[in-house]
Structures are given as C-alpha cells and as structure tokens.
Amino acid sequence: MGSRSMGSRGMARLVVVSNRVPSPREVSQAAGGLTVGLADAIKGQPSLWFGWSGSSTAREGDEPVPTAIEQNGVTYATIDLTARQHKGFYQGFSNGILWPVCHYRLGLMQYSREELDTYLEVNARYARALKALLEPDDTIWVQDYQLFPLGAALRRDGVTSRIGFFLHIPFPPEQLFRALPGADLLLADLDGYDVVGVQTEQDAANMNGALQAVGVAVRAQAYPIGIDPKSFARQAARGETSKEMGRLTQALNNRALILGVDRLDYSKGIPERFRGFERLLQRFPAHRGKVSFMQIAPVSRGEVAEYKALRRQLDELAGRINGDWAEIDWIPLRYITRGLPRKVLAGVHRRAAVGLVTPLRDGMNLVAKEYVAAQDPADPGVLVLSRFAGAAPELGDAVLVNPYDPDEIAEALDRALTMALPERLRRWEAMNAAVTRVTAASWARGFLDVLNNVQVRQAA
Ligand code: GDG
C-alpha cells in the first residue's frame, strides 16, 4: 500500500470509527456494503473498530470507559451513552435533523439548539475515549453523518495522525445545507480531516461549494461505494433452490415479480412507488392479474415521528391498493415490514423480472447494485432506477425515472415488463460491468491509499 508509514507494530494500524460497531460475527459474515468494504480493509492488518455500544445506560457525569474485545487481530472497542445523549445525538440531531437536510428535505427537519449541542458533546466524548486508545502511527477513518465533527474534536485533543472522513449519504447544495443552523460549524470542523470522501461527483461539487463559501480549505472527492458482487451472485444462484423459493414460485403462479427492497425510510420514495404501481394497473390493463409487486421494507428508526407517520401512510396505501385491485385469486401488492435473511433476499432478487429502486434521494443505494449482481446472466431482469440515486451515474443502462412522477414509474414498469431478451442482455451486461468494476473492497482500498499517502500533520 504505497508509502504507508511503519510504526512500532510494523504496519500502521487502521482505526475505523462508526456510530455503530458491528460484532465480530457480523464482520466475518459481512453482508452489507459498508461492513463488507471495511471488513475487507481491516483483514490482514492490525485494526481497531471504535464506536457506540448500542447501550444508553451510562450515567450523567461519568467519563466513558471503552469496553474492548479482540478477535482475529481486530479490537472492537465501544462506549455507552446516557439516555439523554442517545436521544439528542442519535434520534435528534443525526436522524431528525441531519438526515432530512442531507436528503434535500429541509421541511422535515425538526431543528433544536439543544440537540445540536448534544451532537457536539457526544462527538467530543467519542474523541476523548478514542484518544486514550490511539497509537502514534494509527490511520483513522471516520464514517458518516453522525460524526462530522469527530476529526476536529480529535485535533483539539492533540491528535496528529492521518484522519479521513467518508459521508455515506448525499450532500445537498450549499444554500440548502447552510439553512441548517450550525451548518457552518460542521463545515469548519471538516478541516480536521486530511481526506474527505463522498459518494458522487455531484455530492463533491455540492460540498466543495459549501466549503468554499465558508472559507474552509479541505476539499471533498468522490469515492463511490460498491458491493461484493461475486458473493451476492453466488448467494442468489444458491438461493434459487431453497425452500422459500419453492414457496415463492407457488405463490407467484407464473406471474412476473416486481421487487422493492428498502429500509422503511422516507428517502426511499416508497409511497410514490406504490402509486406508480397503481398507475401501471390503471393505465396498462394487460398487466392486471399478471404481475405481483413485492415490497420488503424492514422497519427502521421506528422511534422517530416521521418514520411512524410513513409507516401509517404505507399501511393505508397498501391496504387501499389491494382493496381496489385484488381479485379472488390475485393480490397485486405484497408488503412486508420485516427483514428477510440475506440468502433468501438474494434468491428473490434473482427471481424478480423487475428491480424497482426509486429513492427520492440516496447516497448510493446498494440494493440497485445487488439486484444487478443477482441476475441470471442468460435471462436477466430489468432495473428501474431513480435518477436521484447515487448509483444512477454508474448504472445509466437501467430504465431511469423521476421518482416523483407515478406516471413515469408506470411507463418504465410497462417497458421493463415487456422488454425483449436482447435489450435486457445488453443493458444488464453494461450494468454488471459497472457493479464488478467498483466493489466494496476496491472502494475501501481506494480511499485508504489516498489517506495513507497524505503528509502527517505536525504537532501544534
Ligand atoms: C446508506 C445510504 C448507501 C435491506 N433489506 C434487507 C436487507 N437490506 C440490505 C440491502 C443493502 C442494505 O440493507 C441497504 O443499503 P442501501 O445502500 O440500499 O441503503 P441505506 O441503508 O440507506 O445505506 C446509502 C449506503 O449507506 C452505503 O454507503 O448506499 O445511500 O443511505 O445491502 O440488501 N438485508 C437483509 N434483509 C432485508 O430484508 N438481509
């Protein structure tokens, strides 16, 4: 890895910081893109993974003492938060304020000065606890929007190591981001990092516009994240012969499957997608009784008000669409608010004639890439993809749609369901090449190569 500096332990140690720390088991069976990429990066080198334990039972006023376990050369160290900190930092500022703003939804932000203060307080708490665990040659890689200020907090505590930051979610245009009270503070704190990564060129342009506007020197660069396509394809092929797939075959009864898979989140455009499916039934009667739309939407952040409201809205919409359109032997929409095991999910992707991925805004969207990887190369399905997913620039051979327009979704669905094999093959081959080119592992390697080659800062 280039001119990586050598420390007392030989190779420089990699320190990953993320809000949630996966268990050693999750890392060894890494399924999601982030965990796959990072698991690959920490493999074969001494590493520390640091973050929140998932427990909010710490007592006010106590300094956090990290709990550490070591497995296969990786140390997993976590700290607890107090109930107040968890609420203000995680539910409040991270998910109730930063998440909507970064997804271009200022109107959904429930700003509170107190929550901003708690967010900064928790980042400072993380920095203090982490500093005690650091070695001089560590390379630190901070993940995502919960931790914008962590680098600067570490610098204030005297840390001079290389520190990188990767934002997994979109970064909106300058004017939009800076409507958030405290935005300039967060932007200024990005200067604590040596390398700042975002998903797309658009995010980089937006963030650099904002950094420039507030006179901060650091610049963002695009490092699009990927999946582990080989392993997902293998799981999908294997999943085909599973018991669950037999049940699905029976339930489908030769109908074409349209599939949506998303955390139940308002950024994913699920109500708009339901309406698009309904428009398909209204405007293209040939598909009535011939298609089945399955939406898997595991509940997420169920304690945040906006997410509760979304769930109610979807319950109602799904019930109404099925009530209006079902026949005695046909249910148009299957809506499941629980997660499926990964290997079943991979098999379902492969079975689906159409992957319907219509976020209103998304950092990348790994589901789109997983749908592509899961297809049968001899008879691939069609991906219908939102123009506003970070994956869209790489997956230009999908049928691209504006997710706000149910009619456009309906037209794209009709086109996908009737597309002839040669066109499906041509589109899939181009998309599969893109999904194979940039993987989770190459993403992590690409970022760390740049980070490990920056000049280490001098002690102040
Ligand atoms: C954030 C950004 C960015 C979903 N349902 C089930 C299940 N999943 C898995 C998917 C996929 C993952 O969860 C979701 O990843 P996405 O990328 O689609 O979306 P976010 O969770 O919002 O992730 C996003 C990502 O970070 C990485 O940088 O791409 O833009 O928002 O892997 O397959 N997995 C299983 N059962 C389910 O029911 N097993």
Query: Measured from the CB, is residue 366 less than 6 Å from ligand 1?
Result: yes
Q: What is the pTM of this model?
A: 0.95
Which residue's C-alpha comes closest to atom 10 of ligand 1?
367
Percent of the chain with pLDDT over 90: 84
What letter does residue 358 receive in the DSSP assignment? -
Ranges 318-327, 336-345, 387-396: which has the least confidence: 336-345
**166 alpha carbon, distance to own chain's centre:** 12
Distance 263 CA to ligand 1 centre (A): 7
Domains defined along the chain, listed by start: 14-226+441-451 (3.40.50.2000), 229-437 (3.40.50.2000)
Ligand 1 atom nearest the C-alpha of 363 is 30
Asked whether the predicted pLDDT for residue 4 surpasses 80, the reply is no
Q: How confident is the model at residue 1 (pLDDT cuts 50, 70, 90)?
A: very low
Average pLDDT (323-343) is 95
Query: Measured from the CB, is residue 357 less than 6 Å from ligand 1?
Result: no
Distance 11 CA to ligand 1 centre (A): 32
pLDDT in tens, 37-54: 787 777 778 899 999 998
Query: Measured from the CB, is residue 233 less than 6 Å from ligand 1?
Result: no
Asked whether the predicted pLDDT for residue 107 surpasses 80, the reply is yes
- The CA distance from 275 to 104, in Å, is 22
Query: Measured from the CB, is residue 51 less than 6 Å from ligand 1?
Result: no
pLDDT in tens, 135-175: 999 999 999 999 999 999 999 999 999 999 999 999 999 99
pLDDT at 30: 54
168 is catalytic: yes
- The CA distance from 148 to 86, in Å, is 16
pLDDT in tens, 390-412: 999 999 999 999 999 999 999 99
Beta bridge pairs of residue 173: none
**Which residues are CB-contacts of 398 (< 8 A; sequence separation ≥ 6)?**
368, 382, 383, 384, 385, 392, 427, 431
Asked whether the predicted pLDDT for residue 104 surpasses 90, the reply is yes
Q: How confident is the model at residue 265 (pLDDT cuts 50, 70, 90)?
A: very high
Average pLDDT (106-133) is 97
**Ligand 1 pocket: which of 18, 261, 334, 386 to mutate (most atoms within 8 A of CB):** 261
Indicate the angle between helix axes 342-351 and 229-239, nearest 10 degrees: 80
pLDDT at 31: 54
Query: Measured from the CB, is residue 346 less than 6 Å from ligand 1?
Result: no
Query: Measured from the CB, is residue 340 less than 6 Å from ligand 1?
Result: yes
Beta bridge pairs of residue 308: none
Amino acid at 261: V
Query: Measured from the CB, is residue 227 less than 6 Å from ligand 1?
Result: no
- The CA distance from 48 to 134, in Å, is 9
**Which residues are CB-contacts of 139 (< 8 A; sequence separation ≥ 6)?**
4, 12, 13, 14, 15, 161, 162, 164, 448, 451, 452
Asked whether the predicted pLDDT for residue 361 surpasses 50, the reply is yes
3-state secondary structure 288-351: CCCEEEEEECCECCCCCHHHHHHHHHHHHHHHHHHHHHCECCECCEEEECCCCCHHHHHHHHHH
Distance 368 CA to ligand 1 centre (A): 10
Distance 343 CA to ligand 1 centre (A): 15
Amino acid at 204: A
Q: Which two tokens stand for residue 302?
A: 């169920």
For the chain, the average pLDDT equals: 93
The catalytically annotated residue of 168, 265, 349, 397 is: 168
Asked whether the predicted pLDDT for residue 29 surpasses 90, the reply is no
Asked whether the predicted pLDDT for residue 257 surpasses 60, the reply is yes
Q: How far from 188 is each of 41, 148, 211, 217, CA to CA, in Å?
A: 29, 10, 8, 9
Q: How confident is the model at residue 8 (pLDDT cuts 50, 70, 90)?
A: very low
Distance 365 CA to ligand 1 centre (A): 7
pLDDT at 459: 81
